[in-house]
Structure 1
């Protein structure tokens, strides 16, 4: 076991203990004896007090028991007296109860008789009420049957009216379609007639142009014959006046055999016209033989005059012709009522009013869009032009339903006349609570 280090301040030796004082043990023993005597005296006093208390308690208990025995005897006496009184009261109460029971029995019998009478009366009243109820139920059933019959008759009448209206609307629609088809057929026939007339006009113009060209050609040929005759006359005159130049003029050749050029001409070769060549040779020889100045001669201008053909009439430039095309679509006549109704009813067939909210079904929106030449709506061009009678949220909801109606019913293209594309390329359709409108 390790030893703790020794402090430098520790003493090497301690002082001797002091000696025990004299009488210390006797004093301690006396003090202890006094304390023991005091304890014994206290215990003896406590035992004496306890014994006195026990004796007092026994006396009190005996007194209490005596009092209780006396009270019990008094209670038994009072109980006996009370029992006697209770028995007398019980007998009196029993007699009273018997009397009361007899009275109650009599009253109960009377009540029973009254109850039976009331029950009989109630049964009679219930029977009468049941009969009355059955009578009222029979009358109510009869009235209900009458009302049902009347309602059924009213429904049948309304259904008949609805069928009649639907039939009338169908007939009107058929008539409108027939009218639209008739007008479209008439327009097609008119368009065909216009095209036929245009073709006939073009053919007539071509014939007239051909005739003008033929007349111009005949006139040119006649002029050429007159010129040829004049040249022949000039050649003859030159042959008579020239010195030995007739042979050369008749053959049109020089001594060297070279092809001559027409003096004063435009550079055209003599092989274009032999008569012109002969005339040129005669004139040249006459000048050389007669000593005349070559510059004094009046040379003939023999360059052929080109015949310009008369241009044909252009159908696109004729009055009333419609160029058409993407930038300039054909306008034609304004849309007829049947054509407008055809577009209106075609869109209305897909107008789903049940998909609208209450607010949207009570308002009017205007939807503008563009169509291709085959009558198909362009999805990117659909726009809400205007709305009335509701909020913007309801208008947007109504615009979505209207947009679906236009695109759905226009998938195959609306039946519109192609000759009036400029009239219906851009349209605005109104979707109202009472249906679709198109002006």
Structure 2
């Protein structure tokens, strides 16, 4: 799974989008946890030795510790919602330290009933869409990669999402954990994406830059704003409902954005080079040991992922280039609008709006940033679940002068069935607490 998609899935889980409309975007706060405790305890069946018996999924029973809370649904399912045991995506049990509880975000109780995340974002469905999108793009005539037109593979196996809640003398601490189990073919999927992305961008560059015959006849350094940015975005994201590669630059009424296109080409060249460096170390066939070493080598090959100064320089460089490109194109557009505004009231309104948009963009990007404080080195470690890789980062998101400090910890295991990526995210003030708790949970020294 490519890094952009991993973190996309993480953000989707953290924002609650995988939990359905009843709880979408809502944080599970202390009051909600208290409600779940109260409701669950009221309905918890009495069992021998005061133990609660729960079922994870359909028909799979387990015994939980005394502190575990379970709830019986109409179907007889008893998902463990609040527990002192973290059940990993590959069904391994880890006791969390005293004072820490695990809240299952994939299966949670709301006033409308139990939410089952698999109904909204199943790994099987995600895998099918991923494979089908690769096949679809490979058949586009401008791309035309025959060997990928029947692409098959297991990329995604399963996912879980949890909220962790901890208490100590300093107060209450909250973190979110996403567990993603990938298949043995996930690197083959990455390589397919990379190949298609390069082919698509080559086709786009030929079309837009006028090096091939084009029905849209784009020449002289101009480019349609809406269509070109949409196409560039699709090309960067790839395998997401990508249409015919010649569908851009067809609306004569949209602004022309040559500088923005040049920025997108430059940025994409850098991203593709990093992805190639990252993938170069991986062998064709999956094996846990070979992929563990290849992950270390690939991580080290991309400087922006391991050095905070390099990362910050990269972000600032391309942020500045992006702003300058858009501003330059808007200024050129405003010059034409200014000529038309003398006789056209609509052009006068467009000119005023363009000036506001340009000034707003400049102000926003001048006061917004993503800056890393530390990017921890990737480290081989031993854990209760076997060999693993460990890395962490601490950074701050700034939006219009509002700062959101974020800390994250990643643990990667390479199992026989495929790798398991574990992502923990918290606010930076709770980072030290959760670093200690996660290491204790996984037995990482």
Question: TM-score, normalised on structure 2?
Answer: 0.17
Question: TM-score, normalised on structure 1?
Answer: 0.17
The structure in which a higher percent of residues are helix is 1
Larger Rg: 1
